[in-house]
């Protein structure tokens, strides 16, 4: 997080992590599509011909809340194993992480390896997975050979991270995952820095504004409740809920 006191501007870094081809870039594309043009900047992607991210994607989003302007920088990492040093660079200073897993049974091992890789790359940057606001998304739910809803619900119930199901290709679950991530991240920053008090900032109103700018008509509570497991309130101090 970066705070510019004179401009009253807060910059928050969110990172989409996960194995190769799990749909990280697709998540950002769908988020960009959903976002109001006032809120979203240009989506910067650097891809090869076969759609593989070489360095990172970046989607800048800007929202205002109270006396504070909030800039969200949403990054993806390149998932291919060879780009490990790039991933390490991209997670530097991350305030929150969305782990995009591929739901197909054949990808279970790749998901697990990427999760370990995340843990190591955070550690290399002086960050700990345990303290990092984190949501998990199981993407590609439209494919036939995916792990069952029951299996994922069971997995979700064993961990504390909120878990979302998605079809990023058509936008399903994309805004929900993002809102869950933003909620956890904000709660964590709030707990550390007491931003509400210092900037006359209403977190509840802010989340509602973000939802609106992302084309949502549902309430923030309804959106957050779409997670299939885990605990959304683990990091949330009283009074910042949805």
Ligand X SMILES: Nc1nc2c(ncn2[C@@H]2O[C@H](COP(=O)(O)OP(=O)(O)OP(=O)(O)O)[C@@H](O)[C@H]2O)c(=O)[nH]1
Residues engaged in binding ligand X (CB under 6 A):
18, 20-26, 51-53, 76, 78-80, 139-140, 142-143, 167-169
**Beta carbon of residue 21, minimum distance to ligand X (angstroms, whole number):** 4
174 binds, among Mg ion, ligand X, none (CB under 5 to 8 A by kind): none
CB 28 to ligand X: min, Å: 8
Query: Which C-beta is closer to Mg ion: that of 178 or that of 183?
Result: 178
Instruction: Pick out residues in 51-70 that bind Mg ion (CB under 5 A).
Output: 53
Question: Applying CB under 5 A, which of residues 14, 18, 25, 199 lies at the interface with Mg ion?
Answer: 25
Least distance between ligand X and beta carbon 40 (Å): 18
Residue 162 and residue 184 in contact, taking contact as beta carbons nearer than 8 Å? yes
**83 versus 189: smaller Cβ distance to ligand X:** 83
Q: Residue 168's binding partner, choosing from Mg ion, ligand X, none, with beta-carbon cut-off 5 to 8 A by kind?
A: ligand X
Closest residue to Mg ion, Cβ-based?
53
Cβ nearer to ligand X, comparing 52 with 193: 52
Nearer to ligand X, 80 or 92 (CB): 80
Write phi, then psi, for 173 (nearest 5 degrees). 80, -5
How many CB atoms are located within 10 Å of the residue 49 CB? Answer: 5
Nearest to residue 96, comparing CAs of 131, 137, 64, 120?
A: 131
CB of 138 to Mg ion, least distance (A): 17
CB 228 within 8 A of CB 241: no
124 binds, among ligand X, Mg ion, none (CB under 5 to 8 A by kind): none
Q: List the single partner that 142 binds among ligand X, Mg ion, none, CB under 5 to 8 Å by kind.
A: ligand X
Q: Look up residue 5 and give its two tokens.
A: 């006191």
| Cα gap 12→70, rounded to integer Å | 7
Residue identified by tokens 């069971």 is: 154
Angle at 100 between CA 216 and CA 173, to 5 degrees: 25
Question: From the CB of 99, what's the least distance to ligand X, in Å?
Answer: 11
- Is 26:88 a contact under the CB 8 Å cutoff? no
**187 forms part of the interface with Mg ion (CB under 5 A):** no
The count of chain residues that interact with Mg ion, using the rule CB under 5 A, is 3
Write the DSSP string, 137-202. EEE-TTSTTBPPHHHHHHHHHHSSS-EEE-BGGGTBTHHHHHHHHHHHHHHHHHHHH-HHHHHT--
Footprint of Mg ion on this chain (CB under 5 A)?
A: 24-25, 53
């Amino acid at each position: 997080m970066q705070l510019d006191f004179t401009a009253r501007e807060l910059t928050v870094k969110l990172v989409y992590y996960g194995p190769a081809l799990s749909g990280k870039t697709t998540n950002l594309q769908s988020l960009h599509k959903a976002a109001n043009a006032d809120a979203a900047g240009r989506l910067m992607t650097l891809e090869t011909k076969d759609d593989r991210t070489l360095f990172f994607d970046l989607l800048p989003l800007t929202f205002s809340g109270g006396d504070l302007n909030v800039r969200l920088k949403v990054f993806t990492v390149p998932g291919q194993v060879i780009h490990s040093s790039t991933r390490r660079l991209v997670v530097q200073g991350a305030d929150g992480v969305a782990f995009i897993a591929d739901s197909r049974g054949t990808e279970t091992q790749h998901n697990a390896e990427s999760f370990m890789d995340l843990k190591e790359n955070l550690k290399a940057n002086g960050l700990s997975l345990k303290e990092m606001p984190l949501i998990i998304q199981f993407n590609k739910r439209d494919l036939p050979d995916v792990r069952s809803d029951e299996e994922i619900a069971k997995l979700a119930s064993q961990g504390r991270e909120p878990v979302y199901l998605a079809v990023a290709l058509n936008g399903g679950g994309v805004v929900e995952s993002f809102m869950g991530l933003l909620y956890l991240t904000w709660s964590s920053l709030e707990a550390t820095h007491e931003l509400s008090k210092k900037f006359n900032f209403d977190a509840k109103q802010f989340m509602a504004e973000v939802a609106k700018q992302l084309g949502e008509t549902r309430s923030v509570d309804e959106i957050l409740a779409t997670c299939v497991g885990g605990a959304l309130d683990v990091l949330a101090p009283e009074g910042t809920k949805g």
